[in-house]
Chains A and B, each alone.
Chain A
C-alpha cells in the first residue's frame, strides 16, 4: 500500500511522535538536573543522581532480584514453552483445539488478578518462598510469548527435514537439538527478548509477590516515588531506558526491527 499523504496527516504523525518521545527526553533531562527536586529543563548539569543510585542499597538489591527473576523466569518459560509450541505445530491435527487456547490464558486473565491469585494459592497457600513465587509468576506471565513466537517460526518449519534425520537413525532429542532448534533460532531469540522485557518491567504480578525482604526494581521505584520526588528516580529510569536500547540493538542485529510489526 503506498499513496501520497495529505500534509495534514503528515503533520499529525509528527505531533504524535513528539508526544511519544518528548516525555522520554524530559526524563533524561531531569535526571541530569543539579537540583534536589525534579525539574525540566535541567538547572545545571550533574551526574550525581546516577552516582546516588549506586549508593542506595535498595536499588542495587532489587535490580539484582529483577535480573535473576527475569533470567530464570524467561529460561523456565522457554523450557516449557518450546516443547509446547513444538507439540502444537507438529501434532496440530491430533491435539484438541482448547489446548492452544490454554496457552493464551495468561494474556486473557488480567495480570493483577493473576498476581493476587498466585499470592493466595502459592505464596500463602503452599507457603513457597517469595522468590520462587516471583519466578513462577513471571514464567507463566511470559509463557504466551514463548509459545506464540516460537510457534510462529515453527509454523514455517518443514517437518520433513526432521523426519529425514529420524529415518536416518538420529535419536529424537538429538534431532530436536541439532535439526529443529537451529531452524527456529530467530523465534527463540525473539521470544527470549519479549519475555525478558516483559518480566523486567512487570508491576501488576510482582506487586503481590514482593515482600518487605524481597522486591523487584519497578516495585522499588514505585515505593521510592511515594516518599521522594527527586532526580534519583529519573536517573534509574534512564538506566532502564538504556537496557531497552541495548535490547533493541540486539533485536536489530539478530532479527531486524521490522519483525515487531509482523
Chain B
C-alpha cells in the first residue's frame, strides 16, 4: 500500500534517524542523555513540562467530566447547541486561541484593566510568562477535546443501569461513584491520554504565553534546533519526548482495557 510506504519512508525512518544521531557522539552512545539528565536547566524544563501537562490533564478531567455529564442529560436541541459551542473552539486554531489569552492576561489586558479600574491593584500585575498563564491557556485548549470525548462515552451508558441502581435504593452519590464513574473510566483514560500528550508536546501555547521563562520541551526543542543549531541536543530532546509520549499511551491504553467493566 502506498500509505504504508509513505509512513515508513517519511515518518518512521526520519524519526528513527533523528534519534539515531543521539547515539553517535564522541563521549559514548549515551553521553548526550547523560548530559541532559545531569543538567539542572534541562531537567527543570522536563519537570516543568511534566508538571504543566499533569496539572492541565487533571483540571481538564474534572471540568470536562462535569460539563460532559451535564450535556449528556440535556434534551436534544439544547444538547446540540452545547456540543456546537464546545466544537467551535476546538476547530479554531491553537494560535488564535492562545492569542486570546494574551489580550486577557497582558499588562494592558482585560483582567489588569478591570482590577485597576476597581482599585484593587495600583499597578498592572504581570501574569504573562508564568506557569499559571501557560496552564490557563492549555486548559482552555484541551477542555473541549475532553468534553467531546466524554459526551460520547456518557451517552453510551445505558439508562437502565442508572434506573436499576436507583430502584434498588442507591442514592445519587453512590450511583455516581459505583455505576457511572467505572463505566466512564475507559473514556476518562482516553481523554486523559489525549490531553496529556497534547499538552506535553505543545509548542505554540508555551511559545506565546510562556516565552523564554517558561520553556517547555516543545519550545526547548525548537530553540535548540533553530536558534542555537545544536541538532544533537535537539534530537536528544526529541527522543525523550517520543519515549515519554509512547510510554504514556501504551501504559494507559493497557489500563483502559483492563478497567473496562463492560468487557468480559
Do A and B interact? yes
- Most chain A CB inside 10 Å of its own CB: which residue of B2, B7, B83: B7
Distance, CA A11 to CA B238, complexed state (A): 42
State the Cβ distance, A212 to closest chain B Cβ, in Å.
12
B127 to chain A, nearest CB (A): 14
Query: Which of B27-35, B36-44, B84-92, B254-262 lines the interface with chain A?
Result: B84-92
- Closest-by-CB residue of A relative to B152 is A261
Instruction: Return A72 CB to nearest CB of chain B, in Å.
Output: 14
B residues less than 8 Å from A83 (CB atoms): 1-3
A233 within 8 A of B: yes
Tell me, yes or no, whether A62 is within 8 Å of chain B by CB.
no
Residues of chain A within 8 A of B100, CB atoms compared: 23-24, 26-27, 237
Chain B: residues with Cβ within 8 Å of the partner, total of 86
| Residue from A10, A40, A117, A143 within 8 A of B6 (CB atoms) | A143
A42-68 interface bits toward B, Cβ cutoff 8 Å, 1 = contact, 0 = none? 000000000000000000000000000
A173 CB within 8 Å of chain B: no
Q: Which of A40, A110, A260 contacts B148 (CB 8 A)?
A: A260
* CB-contacts of B173-202 with A (<8 A): 180, 197, 200-202
Output the nearest chain B residue to A141 by Cβ-Cβ distance.
B11
In angstroms, Cα B148 to Cα A78, docked, is 25
Please tell me if the beta carbons of B84 and A257 are within 8 angstroms of each other in the complex.
yes
B59: min CB distance to chain A, Å: 11
Asked if residues A110 and B245 are in contact (CB atoms below 8 Å), the reply is: yes
Interface flags, A2-18, vs B, CB<8A=1, else 0 = 11111001101100110
Min CB distance A6 to B, Å, is: 8
By beta carbon, the residue of chain A nearest B244 is A110
A140 near B11: Cβ-Cβ < 8 Å:
yes
Q: Which residues of A contact B (CB under 8 A)?
A: 1-6, 9-10, 12-13, 16-17, 19-21, 23-24, 26-27, 30, 37-40, 79-81, 83-84, 87, 99, 102-103, 105-106, 108-114, 116-122, 136, 139-140, 143, 147, 197, 200-201, 203-204, 207-208, 218, 221-222, 225, 229, 233-234, 237, 240-241, 244-245, 247-248, 257-258, 260-262
Query: Beyond the given A16-B143, A113-B241, A203-B204, could you list 7 further A-B residue pairs with CB under 8 A, ordered by the A residue number?
Result: A1-B180, A2-B73, A5-B70, A109-B246, A110-B238, A113-B238, A240-B92
